Amino acid sequence: MTAQELATNWFQQIVYVIGAGCFVLALKWMSGPKTARRGLWTGIAGMTLAVVGTLTDARIQTYEWIIVAFVIGTVIGIPMGQWMKMTAMPQRTALSHAFGALAAALVGTAEYYRGLEEGTIDKFTMFALGLEVLLGFLTFTGSMMAFGKLAEVLPQRPITYRGQNFVNLAVLGIAVILVIFLIIDPTHRTLWPIFSVLALVFGVLLIIPIGGADMPTVISLLNSYAGLSGAAMGFALNNKMLIVAGSLDGASGLFLSIIMCRAMNRSFTNVLFGGFGQLQMKPGEAEEKIYRSCTPEEAAMVMDAAQSVIVVPGYGMAVAQAQHKVAELGNALTRKGIDVKFAIHPVAGRMPGHMNVLLAEANVPYEELVEMDEINPSFPECDVALVIGANDVTNPAARTDETSPIYGMPILDCDKAKQVYVVKRSMNPGFAGIDNPLYYLDNTAMIFGDAKEIATQLVTEVSKLASAF
Amino acid sequence: MRMAILAAAIPDEIYTGLFVFVMAAFAGLEVVRRVPQLLHTPLMSLTNALSGIALVGSLVLSGAEYGKFYTWLGAIAVTASTINVVGGFWITDRMLKMFKPRAKVVKAGEAK
């Protein structure tokens, strides 16, 4: 059946148009927590329309395999949505990207062989199929690798070796050359499996040199690739619905990865080829700098007397599973009439917006979760800044010290608060091994200990002070 | 035969397709730009579910009687993209339910 005959299925086309509209509206309504769920349901409606429209397709003869596959997919999909912990959200997303991309790559492969049998592959279709399968397979293995690293099945630290970038580019280059050969003459059917294997290998190679800290960018980028792969499928199958959905997904993923890059003051090429995290810090002159430390009791007393408190959470808080206690502390302070806010850095967490989800789950009202650009002007007026599990994103050296590896990275200005408390295990420098001058400021006091235990003590102390009245 | 295929002019559908692609990308960027960082994780899991639109291509492949090879590829693709769609929507819903306004959190606290 040709594309022309297909287009006469007017019911399908109309349903597709409405579905595509639903997708755009769904994203539009994600613009605020009040309308977000409406957005989600609109998205579900759009997807349902897409499926219904497709099922009326004249080419579909039997439904048994569709039903079996659909049931298996649902049975696996629901637990992946229902029982995944929110801290595991990044790896779940990576895994989900992998499945979507695999589907696109398999459909592309099938379309190629079928096109050969029927002799219907023109140059443009071949180009679209090549792009679809290249992006599909590399996103599949790339996402599986990202999943492995995030779930700590694979070593998180970036693995680099000499000539790595050359090897990576060579593999990608050969894959692209094979596609060009296939565009010139699609009947070189032996090239297809080689091309597919190269795409799969490239996905693995792409993620090997990337460290844990860069995962937010990489996940966003893979999100974008999965979408673009779907859009390419739309071109190959001449299906506008696929083009719209894929293009929206691609745009959203690209936008998020740009935000992540900006938040780390790095470029795409630097994330993909830089091998961040392996950067060896000069072991800094072991000059003994003076810092102050204090007990949770003292900190609780100061916070109790404060008018405004800004909590600066980092991923360390989630690692210590302290978010529920920290949220409790926030609510305890709010009940005393103290203005509590949480300052969320864009890269706090392992994927865009991750920290917000972790705190929302712990019952922090969303009004209290404030983005970096909005909260920064409030620090000079705030009485207490409480830093829990965050390090590099609070480092004032990023503003002033041009020799610092994180110079230029936007940070939370918590050093400007009247009093800063930093909850930390010890004075050891953090993940990136960069010393933080914040800890040696006059208005900073360290509270040493496990984030969860300290947060628990702070809650107890603050509540005790309440009953003293 | 092959020459005939190669010589064929670019069909109109491709121009329409490119047009749709560019428009959707711009519309996408415009709406996504307005999503606050607060909701970036749900945004990603929602668009992730939408990328399960590969389901559309998979359904035809698995339902059309092209031969065993294609039916199998199609069935695997339907399974994979259904996992993507169902799991993606499900967890987005779960996440969005967690975002509560202050009034609701306070009420829940009092109820304890």
Q: Give the count of beta carbons closer than 10 Å to the beta carbon of residue A136.
A: 31
Percent of chain A clearing pLDDT 90 (strictly above): 61
Contacts of B60 in chain A (CB under 8 A): 54, 57, 59-60, 237
Confidence of residue A433 (pLDDT cuts 50, 70, 90): low
B54 and A107: CB-CB below 8 Å?
A: yes
Instruction: Render B84-109 in DSSP notation, one character per residue.
Output: HHHHHHHHHHHHHHH---HHHHHHHH
Looking at every residue in chain A, the average pLDDT score rounds to: 88
| Tokens 């978010």 belong to residue | A323
Left, alpha or beta for A427 (phi > 0: left; psi -120 to 50: alpha)? alpha
pTM for the full predicted model: 0.89
Please give the pLDDT value at position B112.
46
Contact in structure between A291 and A446 (CB atoms under 8 Å): yes
The CA distance from B80 to B74, in Å, is 10
B108 and A363: CB-CB below 8 Å?
A: yes
The CA distance from A393 to A416, in Å, is 14
**Residues of A catalogued as catalytic:** 392
Element (H, E) at A164: helix A164-184
- Among residues 253-282 of chain A, which lie with CB inside 8 Å of chain B? 253-256, 259
Q: Can you read off the two tokens belonging to residue A99?
A: 């499945």
Q: Domain A296-468 class?
A: alpha beta
- Coil, strand or helix at B44: helix
Strands A308-313 and A339-344: parallel
Closest CA to A270 of A189, A335, A211: A211
Q: Can you read off the two tokens belonging to residue B66?
A: 């092209």
Contact in structure between A394 and A377 (CB atoms under 8 Å): no
The CA distance from A256 to A265, in Å, is 14
A340 pLDDT exceeds 70? yes
- Among residues 391-410 of chain A, which lie with CB inside 8 Å of chain B? none
Cβ-nearest to B29 among A72, A230, A251: A251
A277 pLDDT exceeds 80? no
The CA distance from A171 to A21, in Å, is 39
Cβ-nearest to B38 among A84, A240, A356: A356
Domain edges within chain B: 2-111
Q: What is the pLDDT of residues A440-465, one digit of tens each?
A: 998 999 999 999 999 999 999 988 88
| Chain B, nearest residue to A228 by Cα | B51
The CA distance from A290 to A467, in Å, is 36
B41 and A59: CB-CB below 8 Å?
A: no
Contact in structure between A271 and A210 (CB atoms under 8 Å): yes
- Coil, strand or helix at A118: helix
A80-94, A267-281, A375-389: least confidently modelled range: A267-281
Domain edges within chain A: 62-273, 296-468
| Chain A, nearest residue to B74 by Cα | A107
ipTM of the complex, rounded to two decimals: 0.89
Instruction: Render A324-350 in DSSP notation, one character per residue.
Output: HHHHHHHHHHHHTT-EEEEEE-TTSSS
